[in-house]
Chains A and B, each alone.
Chain A
Amino acid sequence: MASIELRGVRKRFGETEIVRGVDLTIPSGAFVSLLGPSGCGKTTLLRMLAGLERPTAGSVMIDGVPVDDVAPGARDVAMVFQSYALYPQMTVAQNIAYPLRKRGVPKAERAARVRDVAEMLRLDALLDRKPRQLSGGQQQRVALGRALVREPRIFLLDEPLSNLDASLRGHMRAELIELHRRIGRTMVYVTHDQLEAMTMSTHIAVIDKGVIQQFGTPLDVYRQPANRMVAQFIGTPAMSLLEAEIVAGPAGGSVRIGATPIGSAPPGAAPGPVVLGVRPEDVELAETGLAARVRLAEPIGHETIVQLDSPGGALTARLPAEFRSAPGDPLTVRLRAANIHLFDPASGLRIGPTAALAVPATAQPTTKEAQDLG
């Protein structure tokens, strides 16, 4: 069990700054997903936790102790690589035993611990095979076994499921959740798959452009996205963003799309144009409301995903499976006022209450900062 703290961590490769000032506190025993599009810096962040990369600025602490000068092998962290990185010339048993061998664990104990882990991951029958004789799922379990056998303080997982096929991925997801529940160690999980992040994590850190956009529980991040980037990245189909306006009134501000009233604005919101976010499940058919036209209807069995053109822009709705229409059909929909999200059109920041830490979506390093780092 160990907590992790990142303080002002930055990483620059040549001219490009990949990680641009990350502050993050991961509580002991948490399962934290670092979620973001490719190239956002999440893997670099993980490698800095492992000690494979050295931050150009800032500090990494484990259990309150700075580990910047501690070698990867001495940090007591284990890592599962996207490529699995199994040692090709060693058997499964030798692969799993390697970290123990490097720590000078006696041979008999080594064998016993390898057996335990192999049993837990159902690898017992494969111990004498070489990695290339295993399927992707089996290789993945060996990589996991090599991390587990050490009983490290922290597990780092870099997209461990991305090389598996869909059904196996679902299965391994469940196994990882179960594993975390059983051993209760701190786990940091890098993924670009929001479904993995939502289902497995206790906390999600949404990362984009080298900066943490939001850190919170999966539901916080889903229900109260801190900015437009988070709003659009989390949820499938993605949240629709519409052009709307806050109009001042005697009883407080109200939100409109064109002339159609949608709901009341949060207290203190300034009148003017806003970006209105609404998830597909919060759009429903109604007698009165927003007039729209059907662009495309995609029946997927238990429901129908309908793409609409509305006065505020493109809108996606999740409608009942029985819904039938042709492109061009007029339609009236209502947006559930309690579940709409408002964002500042300039900064992209959420207007109104946010559950957790929020940073501007457009954070740019200043020239001064760049010089300090160089």
Chain B
Amino acid sequence: MRGTLAHLVRTLLCWACILLIVFPLLWMLLTSFKPEDEVFSVPVKLLPEEWTIEYYRILIEETAFPTYFLNSFVVSTATTLLVVAVATIGAYSIVRFSYRGRAFIASGILLSYLLPSVVLIIPLYMMMVEIGLANSLASLVLAYASFALPFALWLLRSFMAAIPEDLESAAMIDGASRLEAFVDVVLPQALPGIISTMLFTFILAWNEYLFALVLVNADAVRPLTTGVMTMLVSGFNIEWSLLMAASVLMSLPLIVILAFLQSYLVRGFGAGAVKG
């Protein structure tokens, strides 16, 4: 009897926590389907009395939302590819080769991550102006890559360090060059780490607001975060229904990506490489 009661309490507690987290998301979703006049109606109702997809239509057909969405997608994808490419090779180099300054670089990377990003914004903006990249998607890609890289390197470094060197030695004796051994043996083993890094970088680039606000102020190259805010939120008025619809659409790609990659992540972790 006591066991059942304890179980019940635990279950209720869990659901309470889940609701706490899920409720704002649920509210966002439901509000996006409510007509504007229902949003502030009292008493508060959870479900819309009249369901409408009008705001989604407005957002997609009458605003610059699709442009922002595409910009965000391009910036996030490019940042992710750049970061993963550099971090994979960089982490491998730090783990496998010994050269002068290796330890310094490794710890320097971590230190640079500790620098608050606010400090970097103005210098970064001036540099972008200098090299003619101000107000471009490329400036965002470079900025995001610069602060995703340190963490990505450290994440991948620990994955690479766990790969037994014997595997590469075996591949090289079997006739592979070092690069082939890297591709054939190291990359598949580091895949869970690479996927984690991709997720981390993509989410970071997708949600970033501060740098986007400073580095980009032309409507054609705004990403979603700043684009939606400047479009729908002004000092006098907030378009709540449109904002909620935009929020739902902004969350979708991340949900889809996570749903797909999660199984990959879990699968990769179970692999036992070497008996030892």
Contact = CB atoms under 8 A, between A and B. Distances in A.
Interface of A: 47, 50-52, 71-75, 77-79, 81-89, 98-99, 102-103, 132, 136, 139, 146, 150, 163
* 5 residue pairs, one from A and one from B, having the closest CB atoms: A102-B175, A73-B175, A99-B174, A85-B166, A85-B170
B171 A77 contact: no
B271 interface: yes
A132 B173 contact: no
Contacts of A139: 275
A139 B170 CA distance: 14
B274 A102 contact: no
Nearest to B272: A132
A79 B173 contact: yes
A146 B171 CA distance: 11
Nearest to B168: A85
15 contacts: A50-B169, A72-B172, A73-B176, A81-B170, A83-B166, A85-B166, A85-B170, A85-B274, A86-B274, A88-B272, A88-B273, A88-B274, A102-B174, A102-B180, A103-B175
Nearest to A152: B173
A89 B166 contact: no
A77 B173 contact: yes
Nearest to A139: B275
Given A88-B271, A89-B188, A83 B276 contact: yes
Nearest to B170: A85
B93 interface: no
Contact of B173 (A73, A82, A88, A89): A73
Contact of A132 (B166, B169, B177, B271): B271
Contact of A87 (B175, B177, B185, B272): B185
Nearest to B174: A99
A87 B170 CA distance: 9
B173 A87 contact: no
Given A103-B175, A132-B272, A163-B275, A87 B169 contact: no
Contacts, number: 80
B189 A88 contact: yes
A98 B171 contact: yes
B54 interface: no
A35 to B, nearest CB: 22
Interface string B248-276: 00000000000000000000000111111
A89 B271 contact: yes
B155 interface: no
Contact of A73 (B167, B172, B189, B275): B172
A89 B176 contact: no
A88 B184 CA distance: 11
A73 B168 CA distance: 12
Given A79-B169, A89-B271, A98-B174, 9 more contacts: A72-B172, A79-B173, A85-B170, A87-B171, A88-B167, A88-B273, A132-B271, A146-B174, A150-B174
Interface in B145-197: 164, 166-167, 169-177, 180, 184-185, 188-189
